[in-house]
A and B are shown apart, each in its own frame.
Chain A
Amino acid sequence: MTIPFAIIAVLTIAAAVGAMMLRNLVHCSLALVVAFVGLAAAYLQLDAQFVGFAQVLVYVGAVAILIVFAVLLTRGGEAPEKSVFSSSWIWGTLVAAGVFGMLAWTINNSFASQREPAEKVEATVKQIGDALMTKFVLPLEVIGLLLTAALIGAVIIAMKEEKK
């Protein structure tokens, strides 16, 4: 394990825990931004530069801002006086801990985790663009359609209801 990876992992996990545990929703969304940046750094460690920058653009630039807007529009900015956790929180935590234990046990025992990385990996933007325009052109069109539908749908759902 290298030192940069250890720093990235600790930072990402601490920020993710903060995003789930903090009382104030604005603090939660800011902790989430740190977790997304940590993930982008992990992608850069894995030689996936384009995905790392797409992560920063889409998640830090768009999704996090969208979440902050939603927090402010639903007046979640002030910390609630009641508990922020549901009454059955102990079961949720147990389920999550069980899932993590199961996954960690499987990862440690799997033969795939002994793999060596490929010597030299090149994923330039040119290669990705070529692949998007040739082999993956149909999924690209479909995702364009999906994003258009989601855009229109989100506007219609959030629009003020007309008084009849």
Chain B
Amino acid sequence: MTEAGQVEATEAIRIEDLCKSFGPNQVLTGISLSVQRHEVVCLIGASGSGKSTLLRCINLLEPIDSGRIALLGQDVTAPDIDQNLVRRQVGIVFQSYNLFPHMTVMRNITLAPVKARRMPRPTAEEEARALLSRFGLLDKQDEYPDRLSGGQQQRVAIVRALAMQPQIMLLDEVTSALDPELVAEVLDVIRELAAGGMTMLIATHEMGFARDIANRVCFLEEGQIIEDAPPDQLFTNPSDDRTRRFLRSIVDAGRM
């Protein structure tokens, strides 16, 4: 780490001592995390441990109380930052899909490229079709979201985020609202993204998937990263008692 510039260039996400509270409720209490380019990091932990809030802070959907977030070497918590420009580089996919119900799949995907990046509509539609066919959704382009299954809606939501050509993808429990039989199709999409070298920060309850796809897994509890390790180490030989307790509860629930 002799030359700071070089280090920054390979670092996609750098978070330093991030704190965030909602009123009296301390949600994040000093998070520090670094994600390299092309790295896939999974966040695990009980509901309320701060996974979602962390992702929403990185996307600037939540203002932070203190700390620093740098994306691709740029401090995005600086006061003069253009939040819209930052968000165009960071895609986020939500648990509840949040597709726009009054628009077709095609319009859902092309809205942001056309309105925010000023891409000509024909170009945007061409790129959208390319993404849709890559994920086996081309025949759904003229459907409205309510005509799609949950799995299809979530895949469209991922395509919608990808259409902005983000450098980083944040996935917030994207399979938690899905029927078990629909989970696989969404996980396959994420696997393909990882294979393509996408930098991803993934909050998930799918332990098998996390173990399978992640370069590193972070266990969160009470707004702090308790343990940050490669999946093999974290799942088989966790160093912290709290991690061990959490994993045991997962095993007891038959979820691993």
Q: Do A and B come from one complex?
A: no
Q: Which residues of B contact A (CB under 8 A)?
A: none
Binding site for B on A (CB under 8 A): none
